[in-house]
Amino acid sequence: MIDTRGPAPDWITDEAQLQDWCSKSADDGVLAIDTEFERQRTYFAELCLVQLACGGNVACIDTLALGSTQTLAALFGRPDKRKIIHAARQDLEVLLYAGAAVAAPIEDTQIAAALAGYSDQIGYADLVREILGVAVDKSQTRTDWRRRPLSAAQLDYAADDVRFLPELAAVLRERLDSLGRLAWYAEDCQDINAVALLDPPVSDAWQRVKGLGGLSGVTLARGIALATWREEQARARNLPRGWVLKDNELLAVVTRMPGNTRELTAVLDDNPAFVRRDGADVLELLAATDPSMLPAALPEPPPTPAQREQAKACASAMRGRAKELGLEPAVLLTRREIESIVAGRVPSRLSSGWRGQVLGDVVAKFLPASTI
């Protein structure tokens, strides 16, 4: 196993340095991107560091010192550069909130690896080791990226997260080309930076509350209203959702439906601070909610016993097709998508594109006759 590093990364702390780095890397068409951030105590992640690799140049950019992401936004917005990111979703979200949205074309090496036959959730260090034979040091994982100064070891650790990305991306593209799957890769990366995915509207917050989908009628309407209110408060206060109100507390409130402060206190006996701060507003919100306020897109009903058996058979057939293709089954379809199929709802990813082509015959066997 090779344990290697290139030159120390450029440490950029001011606008002039960043402009100079962008100039010397201007002609290369591939830009590798990674970020370091903190969000344990906040709703919005605090962008602390941006790592870039382009044209053999590697930089660690101190976004806390810069105070502005304007130049980065211009760089990330260039359509002539392919932006390479591993497991891109979180980095893209953080950069979007920081005012440095990344524009297409974007390639995610985790997606590329999955389509090439690796684990669908393979980590960057494991992929670099397997493909390039390089051991990436992960000893600085617990670094508090807000603290300054950063040590040379911390900067090397951060730089390694982009140092090998261009070569990794090139090898994976070659493999996908040989497999005839470059079009699959382009399709799966096409909408990776869609704002609707990275920054969904607060009105969709209820979809992330586990257990809410089992409710109905006015109880569901109240759950959706309270989840929306919680999301608005978390954003406004810049606090994690659970610091405003935990999921289990939210469900307890809407299912037991307290009518006054005393009853709300009984429901939330472990969270009296919430009752004091927000109790009156929440009681007013719940009292004003009725089933007519339910959104058009409601939670899918849980599968029936017969549908669960069909889903097992469908999943088995999908595993067989995945084995034929040399892919992990999760790359083809998720468990939720399989449940939708046996309930007669064709997932959007199957309506067109490569999944519809390679799975159409399997799916047809498990769609209810009334939907075919």
Q: What tens digit of pLDDT does each residue of 119-148 get?
A: 999 999 999 999 999 999 888 888 999 999
Could you check whether 10-198 and 202-293 share the same CATH topology? no
What is the rounded average pLDDT of the residues 178-206?
A: 94
pLDDT value at residue 302: 81
For Cα atoms 62, 66, 70, give the angle at the middle one, nearest 5 degrees: 110
Q: How far apart (Å, rounded) are the C-alpha atoms in residues 165 and 91?
A: 15
Least Cα distance to 247 among 266, 231, 263 occurs for: 231
Name residue 181's amino acid: R
Residue 133 phi/psi, 5-degree rounding, is 70, 30
Check: CB of residue 261 under 8 Å from CB of residue 279.
yes
Q: How far apart (Å, rounded) are the C-alpha atoms in residues 320 and 300?
A: 27
Please determine, for residue 4, whether its predicted confidence score (pLDDT) is greater than 70: no
Tokens standing for 236? Answer: 């406004």
pTM of the model: 0.92
What is the rounded average pLDDT of the residues 72-101?
A: 97
Please determine, for residue 2, whether its predicted confidence score (pLDDT) is greater than 50: no
Please determine, for residue 3, whether its predicted confidence score (pLDDT) is greater than 70: no
Name residue 26's amino acid: A
pLDDT value at residue 300: 78
pLDDT value at residue 351: 85
Give 370's pLDDT tier (boundaries 50, 70, 90).
low
Check: CB of residue 87 under 8 Å from CB of residue 34.
no
What is the rounded average pLDDT of the residues 152-173?
A: 96
Looking at domain 10-198, does it have CATH number 3.30.420.40?
no
Name residue 65's amino acid: A
pLDDT value at residue 114: 98
What distances in angstroms separate CA 24 from CA 55, 79, 148, 203, 228, one per listed residue?
A: 8, 18, 27, 44, 47
| Dihedral angle sign, alpha carbons of residues 324, 325, 327, 329 | negative
Give 371's pLDDT tier (boundaries 50, 70, 90).
low
Please determine, for residue 349, whether its predicted confidence score (pLDDT) is greater than 70: yes
Please determine, for residue 5, whether its predicted confidence score (pLDDT) is greater than 70: no
Tokens standing for 128? Answer: 């670099």
pLDDT value at residue 299: 74
Instruction: Name residue 33's beta-bridge partners.
Output: 52
Please determine, for residue 62, whether its predicted confidence score (pLDDT) is greater than 80: yes
What distances in angstroms separate CA 49 from CA 44, 77, 171, 184, one per listed residue?
A: 15, 18, 27, 32
Q: How far apart (Å, rounded) are the C-alpha atoms in residues 242 and 272?
A: 15
Check: CB of residue 32 under 8 Å from CB of residue 54.
yes
Comparison of pLDDT for 162 and 292, the residue scoring more? 162
Least Cα distance to 88 among 230, 200, 190, 217 occurs for: 190
At the second CATH level, the architecture of 305-371 is Orthogonal Bundle (1.10)
94-108, 325-339, 342-356: which range is least confident on average? Answer: 342-356
Looking at domain 202-293, does it have CATH number 1.20.810.10?
no
Tokens standing for 93? Answer: 């979200």
Q: Which residues contact 108 (CB under 8 A, 6 or more apart)?
A: 85, 86, 87, 88, 188, 189, 192
Please determine, for residue 87, whether its predicted confidence score (pLDDT) is greater than 60: yes
pLDDT value at residue 298: 77
What is the rounded average pLDDT of the residues 313-330?
A: 96
pLDDT value at residue 341: 94
pLDDT value at residue 26: 85
pLDDT-above-70 percentage for the chain: 97
Domain boundaries, the chain: 10-198, 202-293, 305-371
What distances in angstroms separate CA 26 from CA 29, 30, 107, one per listed residue?
A: 8, 10, 19
3-class secondary-structure state, position 310: helix
Check: CB of residue 285 under 8 Å from CB of residue 225.
yes
Tokens standing for 22? Answer: 């962008």
Give 1's pLDDT tier (boundaries 50, 70, 90).
very low
Question: Position of tokens 């058009």?
Answer: 296
Comparison of pLDDT for 179 and 345, the residue scoring more? 179
What distances in angstroms separate CA 87 from CA 18, 161, 301, one per listed residue?
A: 25, 12, 31
Q: Write the pLDDT tens digit of every residue in 212-270.
A: 888 889 999 999 999 999 999 999 999 999 999 999 999 999 999 999 999 999 999 99
3-class secondary-structure state, position 256: helix
